[in-house]
Amino acid sequence: MLEVDLRKRLGDFVLDVTFEVEGGGITALFGRSGAGKTMLINMLAGLLKPDAGLIRINGQALFDSRSRVNLLPERRRLGYVFQESRLFPHLSVRSNLFYGRRFAPKGERFHNPGRVVDLLGLETLLSRRPVTLSGGEKQRVAIGRALLAEPRLILMDEPLAALDATRKSEIMGYIERISDALAVPIVYVSHALEEVTRLADQVVLLADGKLVAAGPAVDIMGRPDLSPHTGRHEAGALFETLVAGHDDFGLTMLVFEGGTLCVAGLDLADGTRVRARIRARDVAIATAPPADLSILNVFPGRVVDMYENSPAAIDVELDIGVRLWARITRRSVHDLGLKPGREVYALVKSVAIDRHSLGLAQPPKRN
């Protein structure tokens, strides 16, 4: 459990944020550049002193301006994976990995070094020097180095920002592995929607130094009222599904509370939990059951509510067993006579759900 209640002024910028997140998993600090994410994470790490407030982890205060508690960074026991990895250039990969280990209390060394090296695929890199590593390798070493210091929580500040798309996906896989296998809570700073969609269990959404919303990723990322912050163009619904089978046409069936979703073939076993994201702009609405249609995913449901998105566009909230959003023109709303309560059919293009927006959903965590 992480409790944060902080205020800090830096020039004209004012950060004032209060939130709590429960237990383990990956918590994304999400927001645009300049929202105050890095400032916040540096205050958590003790690298930047807040003007006032409180930081508590599992009940222990790391910072409390009232009782004048301000633990030094080395006493906080929070791992930090930086954007630029910050490996020590004069030390080998092995020495980098073990740098913080001696400072971890003997009774609290939970992670087996061999296991960490194995999980992050570092065996062949151990005797190399950081300058000889690629960007992705550096970040893997940086993650291992943070883990072996036995932190109570790992902070990651846009750890993928300097990597290309392939490496990004690869490192996200490693982050999922360590989160699942080692049950280390992670606070993950990012402004990239695809990273948050794939990794986050919980989202803390920031804008201009203020908290916009905090909660389970599935709730936050699906709210259209938050789309100006999460990305207007990308607004949509996020929900969890189970792989239910594959057909002869190269499609994969995903069952969810509203029915079965057909998506382009996924190389996943039946029963695998998968998080699906459907963007509002990829959903159309019909008032009668459509016939002779190329679209495979059609779900009956009803209109819950409608939000104005722009002068010409309306976001329609649909209930098809889960919440779904459709972004349609104001004229269509008028022509179809849509209003809350109206029975409709939601048309989802199966190609709208690509591999990119399918994050591997996390199984329930220890601790």
Partner 1 sequence: MFALTPLESEAILLSLRVAFWATLISLPIAIAVAWLLARVCFPGHTLLNGLVHLPLVVPPVVIGYLLLLLLGRNGPMGAWLYDWFGITVAFTWRGAAVASAVMAFPLMVRAIRLSLENVDVRLEAAARTLGAPPIWVFATVSMPLMLPGILTGAMLAFARSFGEFGATITFVSNIPGETRTLPIALYSMTQVPGGEGGALRLMILSIVIAMLALFVSELLARRLRARLTE
Per CB under 8 A, residues contacting partner 1 are 45-47, 72-74, 76-80, 82, 84, 86, 88-90, 99-100, 103-104, 129, 131-132, 145-146, 149
Between CA 194 and CA 130 the distance in angstroms is 28
Q: Name the residue nearer to partner 1 (CB basis): 40 or 45.
A: 45
Residue 144 CA: distances (Å) to CA of 78, 119, 131, 139, 331 = 13, 9, 17, 9, 55
Assess contact for 26 and 362: CB atoms under 8 A: yes
Instruction: Give the nearest distance from C-beta 11 to partner 1 in angstroms.
Output: 19
Question: Hey, which residues does 277 pair with through a beta bridge?
Answer: 238
- Min separation Cβ 279 and partner 1, Å: 37
Structure tokens at 183: 């049950």
Q: How far is the CB of 141 from partner 1 (least distance, A)?
A: 12
- From the CB of 90, what's the least distance to partner 1, in Å? 5
**Closer CB to partner 1, residue 24 or residue 144?**
144
Which residue, 27 or 362, has its beta carbon nearer to partner 1? 27
Tokens of 39: 């400032």
Of the two residues 89 and 364, which places its CB atom closer to partner 1 in the complex?
Answer: 89
| CB-nearer residue toward partner 1: 72 or 291 | 72
- Determine contact, residues 48/42, Cβ cutoff 8 Å: yes
Please state, in angstroms and rounded to a whole number, the distance separating the CA atoms of residues 275 and 362: 9
Cα separation of 150 and 152, whole Å?
A: 7
Least CB distance to partner 1 at residue 157 (A):
11
